[in-house]
Amino acid sequence: MNSASRCRWFMNPVLDARKHFNLTDRERSLDSGIKRRLALGFASNWIGKLASTIIQLVQVPVFFHFWAASVYGNWLIVSAIPTYLTFSSIGFGNVASNEMTMLNSVGDREGALRVFQSCWWLISMICAAVGLLLVLVLYLVPAASLLNIHAISESDTKWIIFYLGFSVLLGQLEQLMSAAYTCVARYPFGSFLKSVISLAAFSATMVPIILGYGPRTMALVYAVANAFGTLTLSLFVRKDIPWIKFGWKHAHFSEIRRLASPAFAFMGFPIGNALNLQGTLMAVGYALGPVDVAIFSSARTVSRVALQMVQMVSATFWPELSLAYGAKNVALTRTLHRRACQLALIIAVFVIAGVMAVGPSFLHHWTGGHVPPSRGLLSILLLVVVVYSLWSTSSTLMASTNQHQRMAAIYVAATSLTCVACFYLARWEGLYGAAAALLISELAMNCYVLPASLRIAHDTFPAFMASLMHYPPSLKPGVLLARLRRGKAEPK
């Protein structure tokens, strides 16, 4: 596409876009089955996000109450390290989920089982190797001194990383088992089951903290609870989906070779997420110290209530996009992409408005007065969520169809730059500078993701923007008012 064509693509009048939208895509209605799955998926993901929110809201005051601020700040830094092990599956869990869903959408269960067993054994072997490597590194490396940890001993630091690393590695297998529910269009139940297991594991970890134990004991309890959860999930999968078998009869190395390219690309997302979340916390820790890490993390936790609601939309539409694209239904794929982005923006606006109204005072009281009610810091973090909402939802189309290779590379580069900028801006402008640095990766991703997703959906930017302003006639103010008047006129 030359520069003139690109300019016309972005600058066509919105009126022409609406005309095109009305002629080609006058909201082809989603059938009742899709609507039902989306509703159940949204509800189950809402339960999952509610569980995650409860965990975040409960753990901060508990940590501040039973641990010193310096211990909590050091815990945040240490617990950030094992998250980098999420790359251990090399992305085969996500790729397998997409591939199994697209295969099952055309009735190829044998192919879906072949993908499942091939990836199961590969992930198991990789996780075992990574676990052994982790043990060796922890034996040789002075972890606490390298991480600038002073409130937690060297021995406890190593054991915490080991226990949490073990939990992360188990999570790679859980992801593949959740893919089994996704490929048979039962992802709402799979998501609900995973949420219950996560909430149970968190509840178990609160017990040693309340009883006066330190970070090492908490990490051990968390690892044991996660092992039990993984076993429970595997039993449910075996019972609910009999054709999914945990053997090796259908495993083929050719499947691994075929899925290798998108799988390796998926590694970029956990790496990028770790850089964006834990990497920036470490940058703040090196620039300002552990107390500021606790303040920054607590404020970002409040702002991420809105972000998690946006992520819930992506998780809900992901399986349906895989099913539609696998069935080569372009019109449905385009409609699902448009409605997902529209819903994400609507939710972001309403949730952010609510967080801005009560967030600063809530943050202060929630942390027992340890974090000041900084409206400025929270405003910057919420602006990050607004910029994030559009690209992250749009990117679901690319990720759910295994067309995400270049996007992953750009994401890693953008979040790496964000970490560096976070360190220098934190030293220059304190926590405000650290928060502003988070905008770098979000802006960069918007510039790439949206045009790429629209090409996959055979959509144009003007028509896409016009569709975001479209809503069913039954929701127009005049229709709603007329319905309200009719309701009042009915005799009692």
What pLDDT digit, counting tens, does each position of 40-89 carry? 877 877 777 677 777 777 777 888 888 888 888 888 888 888 877 766 55
Tell me: the pLDDT tens digits for 104-142?
A: 888 888 888 888 888 888 888 888 888 899 889 888 888
Contact (CB, 8 A) for 323 and 372: no
Close Cβ partners of 27 (under 8 Å, ≥ 6 residues apart): 335, 470, 472
397: confidence class by pLDDT, cuts 50, 70, 90: very high
Q: What DSSP line would sit under 147-192, residue for residue?
A: TT--SS-HHHHHHHHHHHHHHHHHHHHHHHHHHHHHHTT-HHHHHH
- What's the confidence (pLDDT) of residue 482? 62
Report the C-alpha gap between 332 and 323 in whole angstroms. 10
Res. 454 pLDDT band, cuts 50 70 90: very high
Residues 223 and 315: their CA atoms lie apart, in Å, by 26
Instruction: Name the band, by pLDDT with cuts 50, 70 and 90, for residue 472.
Output: low
Q: What is the mean pLDDT of the chain?
A: 80
Q: Give the mean model confidence (pLDDT) for residues 438-450.
A: 92
Q: What is the pLDDT of residue 89?
A: 57
Q: If you search the block for the tokens 């617990």, which residue do you land on?
A: 79
Q: pLDDT exceeding 70 applies to what percent of the chain?
A: 85
pLDDT at 19 over 70: no
Quote the percentage of the chain above a pLDDT of 90. 14
Q: What is the pLDDT of residues 181-192, one digit of tens each?
A: 888 878 888 878
DSSP per residue over 77-125, as a string?
HHHHGGGGGGGGGTTHHHHHHHHHHHHHTTT-HHHHHHHHHHHHHHHHH
Whether 177 contacts 169, CB under 8 Å: no
Averaged pLDDT for residues 460-485: 70
User: Quick check: 338 pLDDT over 90?
Assistant: yes
**Rounded Cα gap, residues 183 and 195, in angstroms:** 19
* Res 410: pLDDT: 94
pLDDT at 18: 43
- Is 4's pLDDT higher than 80? no
Spatial CA neighbour of 151 closest among 208, 69, 64, 217: 69
Q: Domains of the chain: which residue ranges?
A: 1-27+267-492, 36-261
Which pLDDT tens digit goes with each residue over 237-290?
Answer: 888 888 888 877 887 888 888 888 888 887 788 788 888 888 888 888 888 888
Look at residue 453 and tell me whether its pLDDT is greater than 90: yes
Give the mean pLDDT of 196-204: 85
Tokens 């040693």 correspond to what residue?
A: 208
The gap from C-alpha 383 to its chain's centroid, in whole angstroms, comes to 18
Report the candidate in 80, 57, 64 with the shortest Cα–Cα distance to residue 285. Answer: 80
Check pLDDT > 90 for residue 337: yes
Predicted pLDDT of residue 418: 93
Contact predicate 397/315, CB 8 Å: no
279-335 confidence digits (pLDDT tens): 888 888 888 888 788 888 878 877 777 777 788 888 889 889 988 888 888 999 999
Q: What token pair was written down for 143?
A: 């972890």
